[in-house]
Structure 1
Amino acid sequence: MDDEEDVETIGEHLYSRIYPKHKDTAGKLTGMLLELPGPVLSQMLQDEAMLSAAVEKALRALQSQEPSKITCKDADVDDVSVSSDSLGEQLFELVDVYNTGHSQKITGMLLEQHKEAVLNLLSDPKLLEEQVNLAVKTLKEQHVEDTDVSDSSDADDTERLGEKLFSLVEEMDSLHANDITGMLLEMDPADLQQLLSDHTMLKVAVQKAQSALHA
């Protein structure tokens, strides 16, 4: 009962904070945020910036559901190509909330599903949490196997990855390409391979690196 009362109280606080800016969708947005873990919600109520960011994420997820009802049946090619990019970014932001340390890799794994399945993840926080936990478990199992692989050619691989990465980063930010590539090269080789094969993930990673540089 205490838990239910806590959720109800937090829900009321959240609703009163969200309503002034989002009158039409305050109820839905509050419901979506209430699916997040309790400690995260408590922190949101104390941190205005964190709350605003979470509301924006929920709002984008909510908006992405509207066209999907039409486009799932008769989507044209342009809609699919445009939305796949934004789907990746929305999914990454939601996955990043769980602070697994593998947000990019997990997002890439989840994006391998059908578009409808990804849309379900964006609208169902419980399902997303289950999928994230499963992905973390899979990654841990893979990591154990990877430790047995010989690493004699690691230096060569890193150099080759660095060259490919630099050429892609240079197209996005030629001014800071060296710095950004250096930051990205600190990631696991498997993560780097994911970035090279997934333009959306690379774009998100570059944006995070740019933010870090400017900060």
Structure 2
Amino acid sequence: MDEALETLGEQLYTRIYSKHKEAAGKLTGMLLELPGPVLRQMLQDEAMLTAAVEKALRALQLEQEPSSRVSFKEEDNVSASSDSLGEQLFELVDVYNTGYSQKITGMLLEQHKEAVSNLLSDPKLLEEQVHVALETLKEQNEETDFSDVSDADDTEKLGERLFSLVEEMDSLHANDITGMLLEMEPAVLRQLLSDHTMLEAAVGKAQSVLDTGQ
């Protein structure tokens, strides 16, 4: 063990020992499987440390039950079921407190079982992949993903975006024009949002209808 890790281990052990005397050594060893930066963050963030210790405790309890042996880091149980792998992976991913633990775990589980097992035994690799998955999720969120919302929410969000664009073209009739455009199919509306020329044509038609109506 290198000196930096040893120092982290000593600091962790001291913090854990005050609450879990009997299991302090074992719990510290399990947490030391995590990447150094995460451990340093834990030492500065009491809530993060408590959460990680609780997870390690749960893993320890499961490990002591022969019927469902699940360790914090899988080494000799490569034939574990996907569920078991998923649970272990979630425990480790959740330590990073990204707010997307469930989604990131799901993304990582799309890999072959062997690759997932490697993640469980290689904290550095896991940290890299969690980071990549997190970036991907953030990018998806920034692009306003309509796929997860209900039809009502979908139309409402599309309406808001349409209105802001229509308002730039015809602020006086923006409400009426947006209302007319929202009668189209959501798929067509998305196309209008991504194709300015198409949107201008649709707004032009709506303006003609309004002029005729008046």
Scaled by the length of structure 1, the TM-score of the pair is 0.49
- Structure number with the bigger relative contact order (C-alpha 8 A, sep ≥ 6) is 1
Structure showing greater radius of gyration is: 2
